[in-house]
Structure 1
């Protein structure tokens, strides 16, 4: 799914008006009606008090359209205008006049703290104060109003975006933005719904189709894409009946040191479970017995040193190499990595101590093959790109780093983001159970295994991150967040593949209707 920028949404609105020969007021009516339909479907006329707070711009106009339709349908509605400026949009004024024609209870003007209405916990708040166009700090009294919303503990529904949030920056004060229980977003979700600094402002979100021009939606290229099942399914490469292991590549997993052979074992298992035809682990001598006994499907090559990697002598021709998990950062290991990079032309995945080596010796970055994949955890990422002040600054630095070194950077988190140049791919799978030792090693193995069998580096990263999270989502149903471990993610990887082709389960009434249609 494309995540459109603020500027692109404005462009889409304009093109829609031109091509469909409708006014901006008509488009606002359509948007407000979609919100009404969403609420009406769920409330079915229930007389719960609904408090609609409208700003004086187009977001407020959407709120006025909603209020008018709710009033006409007999709902218990109280409408307020948050009078925060002397400037009013044209479409707001048109809809302000329209609502006065359907009720004697005209919208209440709010302009200071004393105007705040009484709201009970069982009431509903609709936030239509500010939209995506907010470009100034929120007034103190409006911030206090948002605090009033939160203090009531009433369910809060935001229109398009929680008021006070911008689409491209983090608010300086988190209390200057609404804390919504649900957000109905037009055309596409907003990037701020997926970043740790800002996602907390909406518990859930949903996209409403307001009929924007289809050509615009299909042809406009966005800098951000949201990755779910529908986005990765076209990436999937099916297997021919007569295929054999030699067609699916040979993954080489390089890493491990005394006491950290488990990381290599996890990554090797994950690579094979992701579909790699062959997997070889390159480890210090101390890793030979653990690997051969715990993972018999892997082949093992050992370094001359007992406890660490000191000299990468490889007599095989792997399809892809992953380096760094559990390797440590001993000088001899760094030197071995440098010598390897000077001759290697094979696609490369670098994780853990491999990233720490790159951060420690920045000259190694120039030796990376094109589109090398880096999978750092937050502290490793900071060592690479430097400290950041907020999530948008982190993305800016990661994009600059990716462009400079022509590499793919995986920013791990609740919504892991894959960065390639200016392009961001935001993942939607995964859960808190992945906050466990070894889950990063498994991700490295999955990505490596996908490259091995013919996926290009970007496909492998985006698909690998998705599968990693989806496997955890399936596994967590059996183990819960606290008891999920990295090995479970590998064990359920097959179910994540199968899940790609499962149809959503129909509710009982839909299933009955389908059977009746088939009988006819």
Structure 2
């Protein structure tokens, strides 16, 4: 699913109105009816007080249309117009007149927050104050109103985005924004739903189809895309009956140091479990017995050194190399890493201490093969690109790094975002159970295993992240968040693959008993 920018959304609205020969007012009506239908299905006429707060732009116009339909269907509605400016949009004015024709109780015009409306905890707030077009700081009395919403603890439903949020920057103060329980987004999710500093302003979100021109949606390139099962199923490479292990590549996992052989073990197990034909580990001597006994499917090459890697030499021809997990940053290890990069031409996946070594000697970035994949956690990313002002600035800096060195960079998080050149891909699988030691090593192994099987680097990265998160989603059904460990993610990989082909379960309809039928 594409994530459209503010400018693209406006262009899509305009083009849709032109191609479908409708006015912007009619498109607004269509959109607001979708919100009404969403509420009506869930409320079924319940007489809970509904407070609809409308701005004076198009988002407020949506709110007025919604309030009108709620009123005509017999709901208990209080409508407010937040009069924060002298400027009104055309569609707001049209719908302001329309709502006055269906109710004797006209919308209350609010010009300050001195007399805040009474809102009880069991009421419902509909936030239609500001939309994606907000381009100025929120005035103080409106901020006070937003604080009043939050203090009431009433269920808050935001239209398109929570009011006070900008589509491309982080608010200066969390009290400047509505904290929504649910946001109904028109046609496309917003990038801010997936960034840590802005996602907190809505607990849940849902996209409503408002009939934007399909050709525009299909042909328009966007800077970000949402990645889920629908996007990953076409990527999957099925196996033929007469396949053999030689067709699925040979992974070399380089890493480990004294006390950190487990990281290499996890990455190697994940690579083989993701479908790689062969896995060889390159480790210091101290890890030989550990890997041979705990993971017999792997082959092992050891460094001449006992405790850490000092000379990377091997006599195999791997399809792909993962490097850095548990590796440490000893001086001799950094030297070995640099020497290796100067001659290596094999595709790379670099994680953990591999990234830390790149951060210490940034000139090494020039030695990386095209489309090398970096999988840093937040602190490793900061060492690599420096500090960032906010999440939007972080994305900007990662894109600059990706373009400069032709890298694929994985920004790990609740919604892991993969950046390649100017494009960002937002993953939809995963859960807080992944916040545990070793899951990053597992991700490195999965991506490496997919590249070995012939997936292109960007496809392997996106598919690997999806499978990694889906495995965790499957595992927590039996284990819960707290008990999930990295090995469980590997064990659930097979179910994650199978899930790609599962159809959504249809709700069961109980038949009416025979004796009640006429």
Corresponding position of 1:378: 378
Corresponding position of 2:361: 361
Whether 1:282 and 2:282 are equivalent positions in the alignment is yes
Measured in 1, the distance between the counterparts of 2:36 and 2:311 equals 67
1:422 deviation in Å? Answer: 1.1
Corresponding position of 2:448: 448
Measured in 2, the distance between the counterparts of 1:226 and 1:474 equals 20
Paired positions, count: 512
1:174 deviation in Å? Answer: 1.1
How far does the alpha carbon of each residue in 1:451-502 deviate from its partner, in whole angstroms, 9 at most, with x for none? 0000010000001011000000100111111110000000101111011111
Measured in 2, the distance between the counterparts of 1:281 and 1:218 equals 44
C-alpha contact (below 8 Å) 1:374/1:409 kept by paired residues: yes
Measured in 1, the distance between the counterparts of 2:344 and 2:181 equals 51
Whether 1:113 and 2:119 are equivalent positions in the alignment is no
Measured in 2, the distance between the counterparts of 1:478 and 1:36 equals 37
1:464-475 alignment, distance < 5 Å = 464-475=464-475
Corresponding position of 2:412: 412
C-alpha contact (below 8 Å) 1:45/1:74 kept by paired residues: yes
Q: Calculate the TM-score normalised by the size of structure 2.
A: 0.98
Corresponding position of 1:252: 252
Corresponding position of 1:78: 78
Structure 2 unmatched ranges of 5 or more: 513-518
How far does the alpha carbon of each residue in 1:181-203 deviate from its partner, in whole angstroms, 9 at most, with x for none? 00000010100001100001000
Measured in 2, the distance between the counterparts of 1:114 and 1:332 equals 68
C-alpha contact (below 8 Å) 1:110/1:116 kept by paired residues: no
Whether 1:59 and 2:45 are equivalent positions in the alignment is no
1:418-429 alignment, distance < 5 Å = 418-429=418-429
Q: Residues 11 and 512 of structure 1: is their aligned pair in 2 closer, same or farther, counting only changes over 3 Å? A: farther
Measured in 2, the distance between the counterparts of 1:210 and 1:261 equals 53
Corresponding position of 1:37: 37
Corresponding position of 2:242: 242
C-alpha contact (below 8 Å) 1:228/1:466 kept by paired residues: yes
How far does the alpha carbon of each residue in 1:260-279 deviate from its partner, in whole angstroms, 9 at most, with x for none? 10000000000000000000
Corresponding position of 1:222: 222
Measured in 1, the distance between the counterparts of 2:506 and 2:237 equals 28
Corresponding position of 1:307: 307
1:91 deviation in Å? Answer: 0.3
Corresponding position of 1:210: 210
Q: Secondary structure at the match of 2:149?
A: helix
C-alpha contact (below 8 Å) 1:471/1:490 kept by paired residues: yes
C-alpha contact (below 8 Å) 1:432/1:481 kept by paired residues: yes
Structure 1 unmatched ranges of 5 or more: 514-520
Measured in 1, the distance between the counterparts of 2:175 and 2:393 equals 20
Q: Calculate the TM-score normalised by the size of structure 1.
A: 0.98
How far does the alpha carbon of each residue in 1:54-78 deviate from its partner, in whole angstroms, 9 at most, with x for none? 0000000000000111111111101
Q: CA RMSD in A?
A: 0.9
Corresponding position of 1:392: 392
Corresponding position of 2:47: 47
Measured in 1, the distance between the counterparts of 2:65 and 2:130 equals 15
Measured in 2, the distance between the counterparts of 1:114 and 1:365 equals 58
1:113 deviation in Å? Answer: 1.6
1:425-436 alignment, distance < 5 Å = 425-436=425-436
Q: Secondary structure at the match of 1:113?
A: coil
Q: Residues 144 and 267 of structure 1: is their aligned pair in 2 closer, same or farther, counting only changes over 3 Å? A: same
1:505 deviation in Å? Answer: 1.4
Measured in 2, the distance between the counterparts of 1:291 and 1:93 equals 71
How far does the alpha carbon of each residue in 1:287-306 deviate from its partner, in whole angstroms, 9 at most, with x for none? 11000000000000001111
Measured in 1, the distance between the counterparts of 2:112 and 2:11 equals 35
Measured in 2, the distance between the counterparts of 1:31 and 1:300 equals 60
| Structure 1 moving runs of 4+ over 3 Å | none
1:115 deviation in Å? Answer: 2.9
Measured in 1, the distance between the counterparts of 2:360 and 2:314 equals 25
Measured in 2, the distance between the counterparts of 1:168 and 1:414 equals 19
How far does the alpha carbon of each residue in 1:219-240 deviate from its partner, in whole angstroms, 9 at most, with x for none? 1110000011101111100000
